[in-house]
Each structure stands twice: as C-alpha cells, then as structure tokens.
C-alpha cells in the first residue's frame, strides 16, 4: 500500500511593504522550490498504475486537452 503525503516546509514570511532585493530573491527561490516539488509529485503520480490513477481522479496522460 502506498501512502501519499504532502509536506509543507516552514517558511519565513516576506515583508510586503517594500520588498528588498533579498526578499525578492527569497520569493523567487520559494517559487522554484514549489514548482520543483509540484513536478516531483506529478512524476510520482504518473508512475502509478492506470487503475490507481483513475481511482484517485488523476487525468489520463494520453488525453489531449484543447485550450481556446
């Protein structure tokens, strides 16, 4: 049996009043980490058998989505 958990790291809040160079860099780093974790989770889900992906509602990888 596989258990999938979402771990969120403790993050320091970024001041919104006047972001400094360090705050902008920190926010960019957090976005990169979030995107990397999201892609890693997607790869893990795509690696599951088709029946399990269908049971949890994950879209089929061979479906073509048309965007207008």
Residue range(s) defining the domain that contains residue 40: 21-46
Each residue's pLDDT tens digit, 8-53:
665 555 545 566 888 899 999 999 999 999 999 989 988 889 888 8
Tally of domains in the chain: 1
60 within 8 A of 48, measured Cβ to Cβ: no
**How many CB atoms are closer than 10 A to CB 23?**
16
Tracing tokens 């889900």 back to the chain, one arrives at 45
Q: Is 21 exposed, middle or buried (0-12, 13-18, 19+ CB in 10 A)?
A: exposed
More confident residue, 50 or 64: 50
């Amino acid at each position: 049996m596989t258990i999938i958990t979402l771990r969120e790291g403790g993050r320091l809040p970024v001041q919104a009043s006047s972001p400094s160079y360090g705050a902008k860099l920190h926010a960019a780093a957090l976005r990169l980490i979030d995107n990397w974790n999201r892609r890693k989770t997607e790869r893990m889900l795509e690696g599951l058998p088709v029946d399990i992906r269908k049971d949890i509602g994950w879209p089929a990888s061979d479906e073509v989505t048309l965007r207008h």
